[in-house]
Amino acid sequence: MHNRMMITGAGSGLGREIALRWARDGWRLALADVNEAGLSETLALVRQAGGDGFVQRCDVRDYSQLTALAQACEEKFGGIDVIVNNAGVAAGGFFAELSLEDWDWQIAVNLMGVVKGCKAFLAQLERSRGRIINIASMAALMQGPGMSNYNVAKAGVLALSESLLVELRQVEVAVHVVCPSFFQTNLLDSFRGPDPAMKAQVGKLLEGSPISAADIAEHIHAKVAAGEFLILPHEAGRQAWQLKCQAPQRLYDEMAEMAVKMRAKQRRNSH
């Protein structure tokens, strides 16, 4: 290990906090995002925290930008040890109201962005016997109402991670997938959906979270060190996942009731 890490979505939120957590251990970081102002802020904070690195604008929908980022890591760091596929966007709306464009955008960023990140860096990771950390969501495990396109994209990230876990063991590349519940983040800046009331509801969930992005980064740091594959940073998320494993029907019934409430609220807000 040469302590070299690449993070997408590093311009803010969880991506930035992951960068800072590893920076405190003196790592060199390749920071990528579409938000360039946020990136330079992150780099300044990384340097204050004891790390170093470089920034590169990267839209994870574009494979050529990810391969260019991999090339930059090769040139500046001589390779990479850990990649964190963290870039993501929020979405919401009932299935009937979501356009196919909403679906395409969500899958392109949240699922294919991770696929392309893994693909662009795989050769370097095989060489360094490194590790992949994919940021999914509790939505990968618990499909709540009013966000089917987000649920599907994040479930895809989980399935990809499980596939890579078993395929890459032979070449000694470790794989982790993180499923945070809602936490205080600026994910809503990227929110796309047909219904503004849905955005407000998701916002309430995010603000009501007792756990910050920095707490999650700390949890990820500890669990990666312990070699855990499925990382669930939230206690409530761990409990919900246990419930789904033991009594899935109960969970589906609860989610269906939640959908009824969300629809009622939507109707009230539209009058």
The arrangement of strands across the sheet holding 28-33 comes to 52-57, 28-33, 4-8, 82-85, 131-135, 174-178, 230-231
- The partner residues of 5 in beta bridges, in order of sequence, read 29, 82
C-alpha to C-alpha distance for 81 and 108, rounded to whole angstroms: 25
Q: Which amino acid is at 226?
A: A
Q: SS in 3 state form for 89-149? A: CCECECCCCCCHHHHHHHHHHHHHHHHHHHHHHHHHHHHHCCEEEEECCHHHCCCCCCEHH
Q: Which amino acid is at 269?
A: N
CA atoms 89, 209, 19, 43: torsion sign: positive
Catalytic residue among 150, 182, 183, 241: 150
Cβ atoms 187, 88 nearer than 8 A: yes
Active site residue 252: no
Cβ atoms 1, 172 nearer than 8 A: no
Q: Which residues are catalytic?
A: 150
